[in-house]
Amino acid sequence: MYLEALFAYFESLPPAEELIVDHQAGHKPVSYELHQRNQTSLADAKLGPIHINYLDVHTSDTHHPHVQGQGGAVVVSSNKVIGFGQSATQEEIFVGIAPEVYPVVLVAPHLTDDTVITVSGARAMVDVRGQRRNVEWNTRGRLVFMDALEMDMVERSSGNDLPDLYPENIDRELNKAINGFTSYNGHSIFTGLWGCGAFGGDPGVKLMILWLAAGAADVQLHLMLGPGEHDLGRGLEEVAKACEGLTLNDVRELLLAVPMELRKEGILKWITEAASGASRLIQG
């Protein structure tokens, strides 16, 4: 995949004289930016709407600017050390299909709990081959590299505990996502199940964190859910309905109160029921 994308990239380059003209025209270059952010106050943050896309197959479409839109970006579930690999994870695919992202491996420091990296202007090559140069050259997407906790490496207080639900881990992941969502001055974010899969995170918890972070960052959340994940999306939609009238901090407190033995859709169902009860108390 890496070589195919690289060869396609070189094939797409125009003649030298056109490159000079293009450079003189002042087109935006590919940029790599490190963003650091301290813990964010959620006191005045509001919950936002959720846009869920139910997919029949996982794709790399969100890599492209015509999907992201003018002020959008896509989350890349990265390791602390951004790089290549042979496992075909989302990070490896999204880096592999865009040769202009490759240098980030050389310049990016190890990500810490309060840092993310954005790459703007890099073109995906493998599945856009054949488009005209003026489309590829002038319109570019943005990637947000956010490392998630590797849950199988987190020490557990009890054998049946879900470490995703430990308060310090919820706050760490929430602040990481808020940092990522505010790192590019945009208005929308596209993401799949960040921090799950190879990272071992619970998708129910991660969906709640992504929703809370989008509200705190005041961006539109676009979730891309593939096969086997649709029930999670429907569960989150039920949570959003039940949480109408609650503050973002109220919902965070509900997430902190989830019983340790619950998993995945069970977590979303519990929050839905708890939120419905809390909403009735507020309305009463």
- Reported confidence tier of residue 134, pLDDT bands at 50, 70, 90: very low
Report field, pTM of the whole predicted structure over 0.85: yes
Q: What's the one-letter identity of residue 205?
A: V
Quick: pLDDT tens for 72-84: 999 999 999 987 7
CATH of the domain at 211: 3.40.220.10
Distance CA 145, CA 116 (A): 6
Among 119-128, 149-158, 264-273, whose mean pLDDT is lowest?
A: 119-128
What pLDDT score was predicted for residue 128? Answer: 33
pLDDT higher than 50, residue 133: no
Quick: pLDDT tens for 73-114: 999 999 999 877 777 788 888 888 899 999 998 889 999 999
The two structure tokens encoding residue 91:
């990070």
Which three-class secondary structure state does DSSP give residue 77? Answer: strand
Backbone angles phi and psi of 115, in degrees to 5 = -130, 150
pLDDT higher than 90, residue 200: yes
Mean pLDDT of the chain: 88
> 8 lies in which domain range?
2-283
The two structure tokens encoding residue 82:
């951004």
Which three-class secondary structure state does DSSP give residue 28? Answer: coil
Backbone angles phi and psi of 36, in degrees to 5 = -120, 140
The stretch 137-141 carries a mean pLDDT of 49
pLDDT higher than 90, residue 202: yes
Residues in contact with 33: Cβ distance below 8 Å, sequence separation at least 6, in sequence order: 117, 118, 119, 120, 183
Quick: pLDDT tens for 253-281: 999 999 999 999 999 999 999 999 876 65
Q: What percent of the chain has pLDDT over 90?
A: 59
What pLDDT score was predicted for residue 26? Answer: 53
Strand pairing report for 50-54 and 220-225 = parallel
What pLDDT score was predicted for residue 2? Answer: 75
Distance CA 36, CA 32 (A): 13
Give the residue from 149, 146, 237 showing the smallest Cα distance to 190: 146
Distance CA 211, CA 217 (A): 10
Residues in contact with 112: Cβ distance below 8 Å, sequence separation at least 6, in sequence order: 80
Distance CA 214, CA 223 (A): 11
The two structure tokens encoding residue 120:
């703007």
Residues in contact with 268: Cβ distance below 8 Å, sequence separation at least 6, in sequence order: 204, 207, 208, 232, 235, 236, 238, 239
pLDDT higher than 80, residue 126: no
Cβ 170 vs Cβ 154: under 8 Å = no
**Count of domains forming the chain:** 1
